[in-house]
Each structure stands twice: as structure tokens, then as C-alpha cells.
Amino acid sequence: MQFRWKRCRAMKTIMGLETEYSIMTTGSLDNDFRAHLREVIRTFVGRKVDLRQIKKCSKGYPLPMDEGHAARPIYFGGMNGDGTVPYLYQWLPNGGLTYIDVGCHVEYSTPECSGPANLVIDDKAGERIIEKRFPRHAVFKNNAGTDFGHPENSKSARRKISVYGCHENYYVPEKLVLIADSKHLASFLATRQIFTGSGSVREGSYTLSQKLRSPNNISKLQVSGRLSVRDGDANMSEMATYMKAGTTAIVLSLLNAGRHPGNVLEDAVKSFYDIACDLSLQHKAALSSPGGAKATAVEIQRAFLDEARRMQKENREWKKDRESADILNRWEYTLDELSRNPVENPWRLGRWYDCWLKLAMLEDLMAKEGFSLGDQQAETFDLYYHLLGEDGLFYMLQARGATERIVTDRQIEEAVSAPPNDTRAFYRGNAVGKGTIRFTERCWEKVDVRVGEKWLIVDLSDPYDPKRNLARQHGLLD
């Protein structure tokens, strides 16, 4: 059954998300890191496991399981730097990956997706996968939440604030390698938070992004042409994820075509912080052009949009592609609304974007209950906005129709167990689903597959190739 969107013609990039989730356990509530660690591992694995036994496992090989316990093995990837937390991971039948990482948080990586709408589907499927894995725990999808069970808190009643990651990955052509750290790309990424941020309550103030406590790198080029974007928040809103990935893919297409909008920030990292703290969006950031020119975040975003509109008029594929046209139209509407001082009525964009929806809800609640941003109630509200499940504040609003959706629950549920059909995740996911695969390392670019009595190494270095015929030859398709 085709439950995903067709590959986007204009945005010729494969994309994915890595999202870290914070888990509230009995140990975390007691500030007992060891108890928290045992509870997270036991729930992730599905049974009680001795940490000493895990440390004896061979790196890159499955954990020893009770007979009949797991059709899909969980692999041991070694211990983290201080030897406290084991790195455990499991490949999924949708082609994605879930794992326990440094800090004892749980992370989900989507399969490789061919467009922003498909990315939303697989991101939301990841929420359901993690929620089902931890059915008796509160699970939060946020970038700056309570650091449950942090080792430094084990003897203290005070829990610290931790930054959880949400990284976007884009596969880019070789000639884009040189622009990975360009000021044009950094200028776009530093200013997009005005609609892609998740909002945050910290120390008596509200900011557009949760990443103010993150390291000072906005993007980084990895091996094999993978651009890792580090400045984005984990979004609850489907529209925010859609626009975050969609506008970024469009900008990458512009840069790949040698088209560079004029407004370039002099210091993208500093501007990122300044813009996040200015809800009026009137802050003018210094540009690198001579003469001391400055521009607002909306003006810089508008320059990228205008260049994309010109590209759309000149390029036949862009004219025909409905997904990129939809993103451009929504981008233009968004910037028009943001030009009208959205802080006066954040509900206007609250149906689409987390940072404005959270602010609108918070202001209404503060007026009703009589507390301020400096009170504990505000931070508690901020945290529970990101709670997964029907008790989460975001999902309560979504159930009431207060947010606009772009995918369906049926599409999301299908994506829990079925991979994309137009990227290399198709082969990987079907092999995992059939149980005829093994991984001696965490590697997205090759797999070992059992065909008959033999094990074959299948090359998946081309992210655009689903290897449909090979999957059929190897008996992976029904």
C-alpha cells in the first residue's frame, strides 16, 4: 500500500531526523542514577539484564537473549566514554534505528526519507515506537528538559536542565561540501527558528528556541556528503517539522545551483542567540556587507524565499512539484504573519508552529492561574507540552483540532513497521522485518543478509536506491 508522498522533484535530497527522548523513571524521581539506568535498560531490552553481563558482550554483536524473546536482536555497541552507560541499539522494520546513548537517553533515527512530508510521517512513527517501548513511563520529546537521573544529581534533590538533541541530516551533492559551513547556509539556519523553534521557558523568560544551551556549531558536514544540522529543535507540530525540513531542503537546492541571497549574517551564532530572545522579531542583526548594514530575521528569511520564487519561475521541475510549491506558499504566508508582530496574538501562527502555540497557551494559563514565567508552574507547563501520548498538552490541543495536520494517523501507524519505498531504507527495513539480516557494526551503508545458506554483504551506499529488484531476488518481499 502506498501511504507516503511521491518523491519531491525540486528538493533532490534525502533527509532524516535523529531525536533524543527523556524518560521519567522511578529512579529519576528519587535522583538515583543507577536505578534509573537499570530501569531504562530493562525496559528497552524487554527483560531484566545484568549490566555486568552486557559489558562482557562482544562489541557490534547481539545481546544474549532468552529463547523466543526477540525476533529482532538488540546489539551492543560498547560503553560510553566514562564506562557508565552501554550503547545498545536495535534496527527497525521501517528502516530506522532506536538506541540508548550517552546520558542514558533513548534516541530514534528515522529511515532515510525523500521529502519533508514523508519525514513527518516517519518522525511521528518514531514517537509511537518509543512510546510503545516505554508504556509505563512518561516520555518527553524535547531539547531542554529535566535531566532525569543525571549522575551528578544522584546525591542531590536538585535536578539539572539538560540539552537533548534533535539533528537533521541531509544528503547533499559533492559540490555542496564546500558550502557546508558557508555564511549563507548559517544565516538561513540561524533565522529559521522564528517559525521552527519549539519555544522554551528558562530563568523567568520565554525564548523561541530550546537550543540556547547547545554547543556553538550550527551545522557540520559528515562523511559521505551528509550534512548534519544541529541548531533545530525537536518539534511536536507536524507543520513545524514539515516547514523546517522543507525550507532547508529548498535552500540547499538554491546553494547547489549557485544562487546566493544577498543578506548574510556577520556572526550567525551570536545572531541565533539574539533572535531567540526577541519575541517582537524586531532585532536587527549585523550583516557581513560593508557599511554596517543590519536586517531582521524576517528580512533575511524573505531574501531566501524571494530567491526560491525566482528559481521556481525558471525551473520546470519546480513548477510541476506540488510539495515544494506548497512549502513556498506556506513560507510566504508565515513571513507575512511574522511581520505583523506575532507576540500580540501568537494564536495566529499557533496552529502551525510550536513556539507560538506554546506561548499562546502559556499566556492564557498565566492570566487564568495568576503565575509568571519565573514560577515553577511555567517550567512544568513547558515540559509537559512535550509529553507523548494523550495526556501531553500538545496532543490535548491536537485532539481538539487546535493544530493543523498534514499527515494522517493511518500513515503514521503504517510507517511504524513499513519502510519508505524510494530510498535505501526499503531494502534494510524489509530485511529487518524478515529477520534475515545481521549488523556487526552500526552502519547505514551496508548490511549482511542471509540468502539461503550464505551471508552476503549488500552495498547501500546510494541513499536514493531502494534496491527493489535485489530485495525481490533475496526473498524479502511478499
pLDDT in tens, the chain (478 residues): 345 555 555 567 899 999 999 888 766 666 677 788 888 888 888 877 777 777 767 666 677 654 344 457 787 777 765 667 777 888 999 999 999 876 678 899 999 999 999 999 999 999 999 999 999 888 999 765 544 444 443 333 334 434 457 889 998 765 554 554 478 888 999 999 999 999 999 889 999 998 875 544 565 545 457 788 888 899 999 999 999 999 999 999 888 888 888 788 998 889 999 999 999 999 999 998 877 899 999 999 999 999 999 988 888 777 778 889 999 999 999 999 999 989 989 999 999 999 999 999 999 999 999 999 999 999 899 999 999 999 999 999 999 999 999 999 999 999 999 999 999 999 999 999 888 777 656 678 888 888 888 888 999 999 999 999 999 999 898 7
Instruction: Answer with the one of 361, 378, 411 that is the final residue of a domain.
Output: 411
DSSP 148: T
46 with 93, same domain: the answer is yes
Output the CA torsion 214→215→216→220 (10° steps): -110
Output the CA torsion 428→434→438→439 (10° steps): 30
Burial label for 274, CB within 10 Å (0-12, 13-18, 19+), is: middle
Grid coordinates given for 50? 545484568
CA atoms of 322 and 316, how far apart (whole Å)? 12
The answer to the question of residue 417 being in a domain is no
400 with 440, same domain: the answer is no
Please tell me the total count of domains within the chain: 2
282 with 142, same domain: the answer is yes
Q: Give the burial string for 125-145 (b: 16+ CB within 10 Å, else e).
A: bbbbbbbebbeebbbbbbbbb
Question: Phi first, then psi: what are they for 461, rounded to 5°?
Answer: -70, -25
429 with 388, same domain: the answer is no
CA atoms of 385 and 169, how far apart (whole Å)? 25
CA atoms of 108 and 354, how far apart (whole Å)? 20
Domain holding 295, by residue range, is 15-411
Does residue 328 contact residue 250 with C-beta atoms inside 8 Å? yes
User: Cβ neighbours of residue 21 under 8 Å, at least 6 residues apart?
Assistant: 105, 106, 107, 108, 130, 139, 140, 141, 164, 388
The answer to the question of residue 3 being in a domain is no
Candidates 421, 420, 8; CA nearest to 253 is 8
Candidates 175, 254, 251; CA nearest to 218 is 251
Question: Phi first, then psi: what are they for 475, rounded to 5°?
Answer: 75, 30
164 with 296, same domain: the answer is yes
406 with 451, same domain: the answer is no
Tell me the chain's radius of gyration from C-alpha atoms.
22
370 with 467, same domain: the answer is no
403 with 431, same domain: the answer is no
374 with 437, same domain: the answer is no
Pairing of strands 294-295, 61-62: unpaired
Residue 160 sits in a domain of what CATH number?
Answer: 3.30.590
304 with 438, same domain: the answer is no
Can you give the pTM of this predicted structure? 0.90
The answer to the question of residue 392 being in a domain is yes
